[in-house]
């Protein structure tokens, strides 16, 4: 055996280099293992369709190239479908490395299907929906983007009060029967502003008409229209979309200033507002990148929006007989003449 110190150091060095090279090859092979992403997407949903190219472009910049390092399994859904939970279970059964989705109904269905697969979503209020313990530390297998920011409800009510300075009561139209928690931020904000909030959980046009009649009789001159389009409510052939359409026509006729606050723009109303992420694609991709590299969703904070679209419909203002305050014109990001 050669006991020369220099010789031993040389041999040990060669062994160490060889081991490092082998480890590097193994690590490289692991890093090149493609990840599987299931996309549980609402078909023909404008917000997601617009964000999708940006999401995958930003993922590619981070090394996640579709068809190469990232295998994507697309699952088109309708959140109003009674088969939503079954479709969520079918996707979860394929055991993807992560799932990308949006909307409260889709997220709830996925969380029933799996408590382990990471879910990256975009929802209005993950805490009130019961998806997360807090925005900073979700604590479950879900994280992503929050579509409301602190004080948003008060800002909506302030805009309504600009149209009706002597505003006393405000009607809140939300889909029944289980939406009271989603309306809670508006109820609290109205109370703090000295307004009388009148919550109506409606499940048909007849109920909507009755609630409007009662609100007007009580002196309410403004209304907030919640996310009626997200809940499948069908009574005698009337669904949630027809309730929204009915309100869009009935509120101006009764000279009620109204704001659509469902989280998506609906320019059929006097005002419509939508908090948004300035670069939704990059925001989604940033969260997905962390998840795909092994960070637990429970430890990834929900990102909050950094801006808001405000659409003013001056046609509705004229039909309602309301003058448009200059402050609203200045804040509006789009004006329909």
- Report strand pairing: 271-276 vs 307-313: antiparallel
* pLDDT score recorded for residue 177: 65
CB atoms within 10 A of CB 171: 25
pLDDT at 60 over 60: yes
pLDDT at 301 over 60: yes
Residue 212: half-sphere exposure toward Cβ, Cα within 13 Å = 24
Each domain of the chain, given as residue ranges in start order, spans 35-147+277-305, 152-262+308-336
Q: State the pLDDT confidence band at 27, using cuts at 50, 70 and 90.
A: very low
> Across the beta sheet with 98-101, what order do the strands follow?
70-77, 35-42, 98-101, 119-123, 142-146
Phi then psi for residue 246, to 5 deg, are: -60, -45
Give the mean model confidence (pLDDT) for residues 57-81.
92
* pLDDT score recorded for residue 28: 40
Least reliable range by pLDDT among 135-149, 165-179, 189-203: 165-179
Q: State the pLDDT confidence band at 327, using cuts at 50, 70 and 90.
A: very high
pLDDT at 319 over 70: yes
Which strand (E) or helix (H) includes residue 51?
A: helix 46-61
Give the mean model confidence (pLDDT) for residues 102-127.
94
How much is the pTM?
0.75
pLDDT at 236 over 50: no
Q: Average model confidence (pLDDT) for the chain?
A: 85
Q: Which CATH number fits domain 152-262+308-336: 3.40.50.2300, 1.10.3720.10, 3.30.750.210, 2.120.10.30?
A: 3.40.50.2300
Q: State the pLDDT confidence band at 311, using cuts at 50, 70 and 90.
A: very high
152-262+308-336 and 35-147+277-305 share a CATH fold: yes
Token pair 């949903």: residue: 45
**In the CATH scheme, what is the code of domain 35-147+277-305?**
3.40.50.2300
In 3D space, the residue among 131, 244, 150, 218 whose CA is nearest the CA of residue 189 turns out to be 150
Task: Mention every residue, 6+ apart, whose C-beta is less than 8 A from residue 231.
Answer: 80, 105, 175, 179, 240
* pLDDT score recorded for residue 167: 84
Q: State the pLDDT confidence band at 11, using cuts at 50, 70 and 90.
A: very low
Token pair 């299907």: residue: 113
> Across the beta sheet with 196-202, what order do the strands follow?
196-202, 169-175, 220-225, 257-260, 271-276, 307-313, 334-336
Between 10 and 324, whose confidence is greater? 324
* Each residue's pLDDT tens digit, 237-266: 445 568 888 999 999 999 999 999 876 788
Give the mean model confidence (pLDDT) for residues 193-213.
91
* pLDDT score recorded for residue 50: 79
pLDDT at 2 over 60: no
């Amino acid at each position: 055996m050669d006991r020369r110190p220099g010789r031993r150091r040389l041999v040990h060095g060669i062994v160490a280099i060889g081991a490092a090279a082998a480890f590097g090859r193994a690590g490289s092979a692991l890093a090149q293992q493609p990840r599987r992403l299931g996309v549980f997407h609402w078909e023909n949903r404008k917000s997601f369709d617009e964000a999708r190219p940006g999401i995958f472009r930003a993922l590619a910049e981070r090394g996640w190239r579709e068809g190469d390092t990232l295998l994507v399994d697309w699952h088109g859904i309708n959140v109003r479908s009674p088969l939503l939970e079954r479709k969520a279970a079918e996707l979860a059964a394929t055991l993807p490395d992560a799932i990308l989705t949006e909307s409260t109904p889709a997220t709830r269905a996925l969380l029933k299907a799996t408590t382990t697969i990471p879910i990256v979503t975009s929802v209005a209020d993950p805490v009130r929906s019961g998806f997360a313990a807090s925005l900073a530390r979700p604590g479950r297998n879900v994280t992503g983007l929050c579509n409301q920011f602190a004080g948003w409800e008060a800002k909506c009510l302030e805009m309504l009060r600009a149209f009706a300075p002597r505003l006393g009561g405000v009607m809140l139209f939300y889909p029944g029967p289980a939406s009271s928690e989603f309306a809670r931020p508006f109820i609290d904000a109205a109370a703090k502003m000295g307004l009388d909030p009148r919550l109506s959980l409606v499940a048909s046009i007849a109920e909507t008409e009755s609630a409007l009649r009662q609100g007007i009789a009580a002196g309410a001159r403004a209304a907030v229209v919640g996310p009626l389009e997200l809940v499948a409510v069908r009574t005698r052939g009337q669904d949630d979309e027809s309730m929204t359409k009915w309100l869009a026509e009935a509120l101006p006729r009764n000279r009620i200033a109204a704001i659509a606050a469902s989280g998506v723009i609906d320019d059929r109303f006097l005002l419509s507002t939508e908090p948004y992420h300035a670069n939704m694609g990059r925001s989604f991709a940033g969260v997905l990148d962390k998840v795909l590299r092994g960070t637990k969703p429970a430890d990834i904070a929900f990102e909050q929006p950094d801006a808001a679209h405000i659409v003013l419909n001056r046609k509705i203002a004229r039909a309602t007989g309301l003058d448009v305050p200059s402050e609203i014109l200045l804040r509006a990001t789009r004006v329909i003449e």
